[in-house]
Amino acid sequence: MIKSIIFDLGGVYFTDGTKEAVKKISKGYNLNSKELAKFFGTKSKAGKQYRQGKIASKQFWNEFEKKFKLNINGEELTKLWVSFYNPIEGTVSIIKKLRKKGIKIYFLSDNVKERSEFLQAKFGFLENFDGGVFSHKAGLTKSDGSKVFKIALEKAGGMPHEVIFVDDKEDYVKTAKILGMNAIHFKNAKQLKKEI
């Protein structure tokens, strides 16, 4: 019996704002979008450390300036970045229905402090969760391996087979399965509803 579900945020609960921000910034500054996407994610040292909460926003944008040889306004780019995230109504609806049925809902997100605070202030999304793990608070990202998944599992309670993990990135779905969780590779809300 399923007792709880752990959701990724960006790309599952929210639209993939980083993907959209990369498009906009790469076009605006004439940068390679693949290089930019790598920098913003966990595949770059600065991106990973920022998501782990090991460096602050200012240091992240300093590294951005060095790498891309640009003078930018980090605060403005942060605002631009976070503005592309919007709740996926279908996912929100599923979560609300599941909670009414007594299923506990948690999140596991590779998220930076500024984005999580902005999205909470704008959408109050945390009220739809019983708890969760932000990478910038845990000091770990999902790309670091199973450790942060175990932290989320502990928060969710119960045995791994009583938990479903939902993420739009296949690698993380695989990690959850290795730990014994049921896992769904999210493509859209309709598919998610069907699989749950």
CB 51 within 8 A of CB 111: yes
Nearest to 20 by CA among 9, 1, 33: 33
Q: Which residues contact 161 (CB under 8 A, 6 or more apart)?
A: 180, 181, 182
How far apart CA 180 and CA 183 sit, in angstroms, is 9
Selection from 50, 22, 21, 17 nearest residue 36 by Cα: 22
Tell me what pLDDT residue 4 has.
98
User: What pLDDT is stored for residue 66 in this prediction?
Assistant: 96
Nearest to 2, CA basis, from 150, 157, 187: 157
As a whole number of angstroms, the distance between CA 77 and CA 62 comes to: 12
**Residues of the chain whose pLDDT is less than 70?**
none
Continuous H helices in 69-133: 74-83, 89-100, 113-123
For residue 158, the model assigns a pLDDT of 79
According to the model, what pLDDT value does residue 148 have? 98
What Cα–Cα distance (Å) separates residue 106 from each residue in 8, 57, 69, 102, 157? Answer: 9, 26, 40, 13, 10
The distance of Cα 184 from the centroid of its chain, to the nearest Å, equals 15
- The model's pTM is 0.95
Of 117, 96, 109, nearest to 51 by C-alpha is 109
Local structure of 146: helix, strand or coil: coil
